Amino acid sequence: MPELPEVETIRRDLLSRAVGRTFSHIRVLPGAERIVQWPSPAEFCRGLPGRRIEDVSRRGKYLLLQLSDGRCLIIHLRMTGAILHRDKGAPEDSYLRICLSLDDSSELRYTDLRKMGSMWLVEEPESIVGKLGPDALEGLTWQTLRSLTDGRSAPIKAVLMDQQALAGLGNIYSEEALFRVGIDPRRPAKSLAGDDLKRLGKAIREVLLEAMGHRGSSFRDYLDAEGREGQHQWHVKVYRRTGEPCYNCGTPIERIKLSGRSTHFCPRCQR
DNA sequence: CTTATTCCCTGATTGC
DNA sequence: TGCAATCAGGGAATAA
């Protein structure tokens, strides 16, 4: 389930592997049409060939490929999407949904077991990513956190995962950041003091940078653009550790449902 | 405006 | 052991 560190890892892979390359043939495999959100799959396949990839950027969990004709290819991986940069003749990958051939006999293979990912080919990227809040890595200050949490009675974890408040955090890294600062994920966002928010902002940054240092977390499906797993799953403190002892105090990690999402935390360390 | 729930999708895991 | 129910979860849509 790619969150900010995973998407950023892929972005960096693509900077060296795809920037400067030009799209040739595009294939949307049968049954994968709904991944292409805009324009129609047929227009999508006609629109990309001949366009060079000028840059790859990121907003939250969205990847943006800036193209030579001024348009932008936007990709969201949802839970099981991956972008694999392979030689044309490489062994086939499971769950291939969209194949974007490049001019150097390589291809970007979009694989996605659950077919929930999305792509857009648009003139104006803000039409897709404009609704996002500030990026959790680039745009985070504690004053920002204050303005996001102000007046909100929703659990702090729900606010951290709200992409229109703060873009980039999902279940893994919101849980890890809250554990790091000892804050109960159920606490109403507005109940956090300024000092809590300062520490939380720092923890979010630290957790994201550490995960990026490990090239992301591979719990089930995540692979980088070279097809390799990340390593941060071996370093999480609470995520999916239900019943296992807290590394701080030994208390079993609890799992609850919060806003429809499973949530892991230490009932003793997080108040 | 807010927060909570459902749906999408398919393979892995859990429970009886 | 076998098979059905549940789980995983980002974000859009919908309900309240």
Catalytically annotated residue among A240, A261, A267, A268: A261
Fold of A142-265: Helicase, Ruva Protein; domain 3 (1.10.8)
Indicate if A142-265 has the same CATH topology as A4-129. Answer: no
In this predicted structure, what is the pLDDT of residue A176? 94
Separation in Å: B15 C1' and A66 CA: 49
Query: CA–CA distance from A142 to each of A4, A132, A145, A148 (Å)?
Result: 19, 18, 5, 10
Q: How far in angstroms lies nucleotide C14's C1' from the CA of residue A260?
A: 15
Q: Catalytic: which of A17, A51, A59, A61?
A: A61
- How high is the pLDDT of residue A261? 87
pTM of the model: 0.96
Q: What is the pLDDT of residues A198-232, one digit of tens each?
A: 999 999 999 999 999 999 999 888 999 999 999 99
Beta strands A72-76 and A62-67, pairing class: antiparallel
User: Distance, angstroms, CA A241 to C1' B5?
Assistant: 26
Spans of all domains in chain A: 4-129, 142-265
The per-residue pLDDT for A64 is 95
CATH superfamily of the A4-129 domain = MutM-like, N-terminal (3.20.190.10)
